[in-house]
Chains A and B, each alone.
Chain A
Amino acid sequence: MNFRSGGVKSFLMARKRRSIPEINASSMADIAFLLLIFFLAVTTLDTDTGLMRQLPAIPDPNVPQDINKINDRNILEVKVNKDNMLLVEGQLTDFSRLREITHNFILNPNDSPNMPEKHITYIPFFGNVPVTKAVISLQNDIGTKYGVYIAVQNELIAARARLREDLSKQQFGIPYDKLDEDRRAAVDDFYKVPISEAEPKRIGE
């Protein structure tokens, strides 16, 4: 009897356990899919890249402009006219040559008198070294295409970046990207080469 009742009890319990419904998780996948699709729709994957630039502050009218003090030989004049043609120092130039011209201009390997002068300056890690006074002046017309303008900027920045990269490798043996802040600042000082964006003018009209 005892045994039998126990047997019945265990039988009932087993039945009961079997009858407890599992929580239905089949819709979990649907919920997760829904969330996934929502996030795919409202978020963007792309990281923004671009050319970092610093605009000049609005000049104080009471302070005289020192732009005229820059010697002509130190300025590389780059113009893009309304027909998207590139003029370097007043000469029609092909886009593919701009990087090389800028590179040579900044470097001035033969100390040519009509290329930028060098000034002996103390720079940490380098000591007293001749530092170029080159400035790049970029001018555009209001009709210039933005894409062309950015392409020119890109070439100028690329030329400068390559010089810095070479210098970094030569001096420290590591690429510019891997330099610590002090060393990077020193390399930046060596090839400062500001790219100035002049006030727009109507060129070639």
Chain B
Amino acid sequence: MARFIKTGERTVKAISTASLPDIVFITLFFFMAITTMRETDVMVTVILPETTEGKVLEKKSLASFIYIGEPLEHFQALYGAEPKIQLNDTYKEIADIQDFIAQEREQLNEADKTKMLVVLKIDKDARMGVVTDVKQALRRASALKIMYASMNVSKIAYGQ
């Protein structure tokens, strides 16, 4: 009788989930390989302009990022809705760019210092006034290699 029950139990075995960790680990490693760490919390709204000729940024380690755009909604009470410049994790002014560049350059090793690239992530609705000021500040800081970050699309529709 007991024997009979035992064999009956064996036939209704649960579906093995033993391979589930393996599957999840594979997914995990896949994501670890193809993604990069988020370095800064973006505190401004940046909708990048669209281009067709954009090139892929190859060496992210050589790049420093400058964000320009409207502050996020919950910061607007404090900082207003005018486009602001974000360096690292705080809102900064034009005058701070030179220090920022010097600091970023310091972090690169000697051989890479000339290859430093500044990636400008600017909202498409920002005005050129602030962009030009940033560009002039970069020229003064002799960070001349820049990249205007953009969304690459196959075709742009001009309907402005």
Asked if A51 contacts B25 (CB within 8 A), the reply is no
Using known A-B contacts A36-B28, A47-B56, A95-B158, determine if residue A149 contacts B149 with beta carbons closer than 8 Å.
no
A51 touches B51 (CB 8 A): yes
Q: How far is the CB of B61 from chain A (nearest CB, A)?
A: 12
Instruction: Please report which residues of chain A, range 137-176, place their CB below 8 angstroms from some CB of chain B when the two chains form the complex.
Output: 140-151, 153-154, 157-158, 161
Q: Which of B128, B140, B144 contacts A144 (CB 8 A)?
A: B128
Instruction: Report if A196 contacts B (CB, 8 A).
Output: no
A141 CB contacts on chain B under 8 angstroms:
128
* Segment from A8-16, A37-45, A101-109, A121-129 that makes contact with B: A37-45
Q: Nearest-CB distance from A47 to chain B (Å)? A: 6
For residue B103, which residues in chain A have a CB less than 8 angstroms away from its CB? Answer: none
> Looking at chain B's contact residues, is the secondary structure mostly helix, strand, loop, or mixed?
mixed
Inter-chain CA distance A143–B28, complex, in Å, is 47
Within 8 A of A (CB), among B121-157: 122-129, 131-132, 135, 138-140, 142-152, 156
When distances are taken between beta carbons in the complex, the residues of chain B under 8 Å from A45 are: 34-35
Kindly state whether residue A63 has any CB partner on chain B within 8 Å. Answer: no
Q: What chain B residues lie within 8 Å of A62 (beta carbons)? A: none
A57 with B24: CB separation less than 8 A: no
Q: Mark A40-79, 1 if CB is under 8 A from B, else 0.
A: 1011110111111111111000000000000000000000
The answer on a CB contact under 8 Å between B128 and A146 is yes
Beyond A144-B128, A149-B128, 15 additional contacts (C-beta under 8 Å) are: A43-B31, A50-B149, A50-B150, A51-B147, A55-B138, A56-B144, A84-B160, A146-B49, A146-B123, A150-B51, A150-B150, A151-B49, A151-B156, A161-B53, A200-B132
